[in-house]
Structure 1
Amino acid sequence: MAQGSGVRRHLCGIWTAWTDAAEAAEAAAEIARAVGASALSQIVAFFSADYDAEILARALETRFPGVPVAGCSMSGGIVPAGGLDRGLVVIAFPAERFRIVSTVLDAIDHLDVERTASAVRALRRTLDPLDRCREGDAAATGHRFALSLIDGLANAEETVVSAIAWALDGIPIVGGSAGDDLRFRDAVMLHGGQIHRKAAVLVLVETDFSVEIFKSDNFEPTRTKFVVTASDGERRTVHELNAEPAAREYAMAIGLDPENLSPMSFAAYPLAVKVGGEYFCRSIRRMNEDGSLSFFCAVDEGVVLTLAEPRDIVASTRAELARLDAVLGGVDLIIGFECVLRRLDAESRQVRHGIADLYRRYNVVGFETFGEQYRAMHLNQTFTGIAIGKTLAAGAPGAVIAPVAS
């Protein structure tokens, strides 16, 4: 586990800094001292729900004058030194070779899809100034990706990420749902010095470096199937599976008494839905007093859910990170979004140290989520993100870059 504070400057020029300082203002000051007076284009921050978000927003604005800040509350941080149970994690993008714009989407629990798509298209166009395109600036053809940060308690991720992906028209999107540990009371978003709830933040990045988005999970479908026979899609609550009380039917399938169901049970035995020939996890958030199950994703009546069984989480993660390393000719940094249930599952199997070792090796920074986004999909129990390579993409000015000291 990461302890205290740390800072790292990566080859691409991005700074990652983290602290477990107890107070928001102290945390912002510590990060600012670590990063120094670098020329920055954007700060992305993930922070503990224990912090006073208003104080943190003001402190970051004061400490980094003129630099846009976006972020959200988390259920744990991921930093190059390991996991961070509480504190502040910052990704500071340099002004050189990174062009970044962002926006906030409010009232996502009553989302106007057309208006949202229009706002995202407008944001996208800001990276296409006509004068740059006419001049043939390499920036106009840089590699692009989008980071989505969505309130994980608004029950709106499916609609939001679908609308964003539609409007981005092929620009890959990855992201995570903001949480508050496992309290399920209040997730907050940060943008433009203001705190937002029931909102999403979209950060659109264009860079001269090679990038690759990814997703990884460690579960395989079994032959055990459940048909959702009664549910409330808006509240993400399933009342019946196979025409039986949902919690009892699920508990019987995994060999437990319903009274013994816990977050650890849900982490170890997720349910999955098949979409386009591929299985995606639909993780359970909690069991309710009436015997229903609340999920991290919407689950509609008539959907067939498949009980999944675990594979070696360390081996599957290692394989995906090695693939990214090969594709990019070396990974410099990974911005990652990992379901909090993956952490619980790793802890229960006593392999969290193995995951932490991999994240250190590949410089993973990010946060533990209430759900993950990958392209137009909202997922659970998954590790998604964007890997940034050590070398410039083909066509970018400057054939070779010099290493930057950590």
Structure 2
Amino acid sequence: MGAQRWLGVGQAKGSEPEAGARAADRALVHADAKLLVVFCSEALDPVAVLRQVDARSGGVPLIGCSTSGEIAPNGSGEGSVVVAALGGDGFSIRTAAAGSASRDLRAAGATTARCLTGLEERPHRVLLLLTDGLAGDQREILRGVYRVLGAGVPLVGGCSGAEGVARTFQMHGDQVLTDSVVAAAIGSDAPLGIGVRHGWRRVGDPMLVTSSGGNRVHTLNGRPALDVYLERLGAPAEAGTDEEEFARLALVHPLGLDHRDGEEEIRLIAGGDFADRSLVCIAEVPQAALVWLMEGDAESVRWAGGAACSDALAALGGHPPLGLLAFECVGRRPVLGQEGAQVEIDEITKCSGGAPVAGFYTYGEIAREQGVIGFHNQTLVVLSVA
């Protein structure tokens, strides 16, 4: 089975002529591709990249998105396009897209999830989701998926990134989309594994979320959430009035939500409202939840990368991996640093026995082996394919 199945990865810098074509050529190591996944820098022209990839593949089913940085076997980078190609015997693939997601996130999740219901039956399956992280509370998308598929189907993926925060894009077939959710249902004769780790540590005493709504935390311990957050960190005064100063601080100090399995759910703090003194997060922080300030360093965050890879490979039950897809929060990069990010990818590649890795830096990560939700921030998620 292993010789008939394959996963290829190609990367091309944006400065290379027809970067999409070059990345696709490097990924399409055999002629029988079943699915392409494209991670494209927002600095490139996505329409041109998609046209080039599609021309090389001959119309193979495709999903993709913009990134906050790309991951490939040679390491992490920016301003490039990465193509992962999955092919050979023993795979079933169906794809779907839902536009205008921000109007009804739950409906968008349900629409894309339905592509799995018509998938050719195989013993292993997963739904790969790429979403617009700026569209609203990502947990609502996953609630829509749950409404269609229930709790038993594994989910994996991430939120489209960008060099700034002005816009992201998604890809489906030969279309470039915005404000959308795209998905690929993957059925496989051999196992698929998921690993998810974050490497952040709790700081200080827990805080009670005394008022929240959607992805906004209004008060902690009965006081304005922004003020409590800054006081707990001993932040300089300018962090409470300057958006850039606050963003630099928040990127390396997420919130951790208490979780019954002992592993915190991490919430990236996307901003602070200096008028009403609330915290704005990428996803919901429920009222009455216990939360902690979190911190980490390059060593702890890099350790999580290796642990996520090991967990994903262990789930293959001894089957050698064909390759890995990695979804890593952009909030981890400042902690790792450029050198640390490269070391992390080298360690993941070593852990996989040299199997290729492709991925991107996200605005949020999706990983659920069972249960209802499965949305994460400032976390590394790894999908292994046997």
* Equivalent in 88, 97, 108 of residue 104 of structure 1: 97
For structure 1, the residue ranges without an aligned partner over 5 or more in a row are 1-8, 129-139, 390-406
Q: Give how far 1:175 is off.
A: 0.8
For structure 2, the residue ranges without an aligned partner over 5 or more in a row are 240-244
| Pairing 1:228-377 to 2, within 5 Å after superposition | 228-233=209-214, 236-260=215-239, 261-278=245-262, 279-290=264-275, 291-310=277-296, 312-328=300-316, 329=318, 330-347=320-337, 351-361=340-350, 362=352, 363-375=356-368, 376-377=373-374
Query: Are the aligned partners of 1:70 and 1:190 in contact in 2 as well (CA < 8 Å)?
Result: yes
Q: Give how far 1:271 is off.
A: 0.8
Q: In 1, distance between residues paired with 2:108 and 2:280?
A: 30
| Pairing 1:4-403 to 2, within 5 Å after superposition | 12-22=5-15, 26-34=18-26, 35=28, 38-111=31-104, 113=106, 117=110, 120-121=113-114, 123-128=115-120, 140-169=121-150, 170-181=152-163, 183-233=164-214, 236-260=215-239, 261-278=245-262, 279-290=264-275, 291-310=277-296, 312-328=300-316, 329=318, 330-347=320-337, 351-361=340-350, 362=352, 363-375=356-368, 376-389=373-386
Deviations 1:87-135 (A, max 9, x none): 10111111432221110022221227468536633x223223xxxxxxx
146-155 vs 274-283, which moves further: 274-283
The 1:57/1:300 distance shift into structure 2, 3 A limit, reads same
Query: Are the aligned partners of 1:264 and 1:345 in contact in 2 as well (CA < 8 Å)?
Result: no
Secondary structure of the residue that 2:165 maps to in structure 1?
coil
TM-score (norm. length: structure 2): 0.85
Q: In 2, distance between residues paired with 1:91 and 1:142?
A: 23
Deviations 1:164-208 (A, max 9, x none): 134233120111000112x21101111121122111011111122
Paired AA for residue 252 in structure 1? E
Q: In 1, distance between residues paired with 2:167 and 2:251?
A: 22
Q: In 1, distance between residues paired with 2:138 and 2:173?
A: 22
Query: Are the aligned partners of 1:264 and 1:344 in contact in 2 as well (CA < 8 Å)?
Result: no
Paired AA for residue 199 in structure 2? N
Paired AA for residue 331 in structure 2? L
Q: Give how far 1:262 is off.
A: 4.2
Query: Are the aligned partners of 1:248 and 1:258 in contact in 2 as well (CA < 8 Å)?
Result: no
Q: In 2, distance between residues paired with 1:301 and 1:141?
A: 41
Paired AA for residue 382 in structure 1? T
Secondary structure of the residue that 1:127 maps to in structure 2?
coil
The 1:323/1:156 distance shift into structure 2, 3 A limit, reads closer
211-220 vs 253-262, which moves further: 253-262
Query: Are the aligned partners of 2:194 and 2:315 in contact in 1 as well (CA < 8 Å)?
Result: no
223-232 vs 101-110, which moves further: 223-232
Query: Are the aligned partners of 2:329 and 2:380 in contact in 1 as well (CA < 8 Å)?
Result: yes
Query: Are the aligned partners of 1:45 and 1:70 in contact in 2 as well (CA < 8 Å)?
Result: yes
- Identity, in percent, stands at 26
Paired AA for residue 12 in structure 2? T
Query: Are the aligned partners of 1:47 and 1:88 in contact in 2 as well (CA < 8 Å)?
Result: yes
Query: Are the aligned partners of 2:194 and 2:311 in contact in 1 as well (CA < 8 Å)?
Result: no
Query: Are the aligned partners of 1:247 and 1:292 in contact in 2 as well (CA < 8 Å)?
Result: yes
Secondary structure of the residue that 1:13 maps to in structure 2?
strand
Q: In 2, distance between residues paired with 1:116 and 1:320?
A: 26
Q: In 2, distance between residues paired with 1:313 and 1:119?
A: 32
The 1:115/1:286 distance shift into structure 2, 3 A limit, reads closer
Paired AA for residue 177 in structure 1? C
Aligned length: 364
Query: Are the aligned partners of 2:70 and 2:361 in contact in 1 as well (CA < 8 Å)?
Result: yes
User: Rg bigger for which structure?
Assistant: 1
Q: Give how far 1:71 is off.
A: 0.5
The 1:257/1:10 distance shift into structure 2, 3 A limit, reads farther
Q: In 2, distance between residues paired with 1:301 and 1:126?
A: 38
Q: Give how far 1:253 is off.
A: 0.8
Root-mean-square deviation over aligned CA pairs: 2.7
111-120 vs 371-380, which moves further: 111-120
Query: Are the aligned partners of 1:339 and 1:380 in contact in 2 as well (CA < 8 Å)?
Result: yes
Secondary structure of the residue that 1:298 maps to in structure 2?
coil
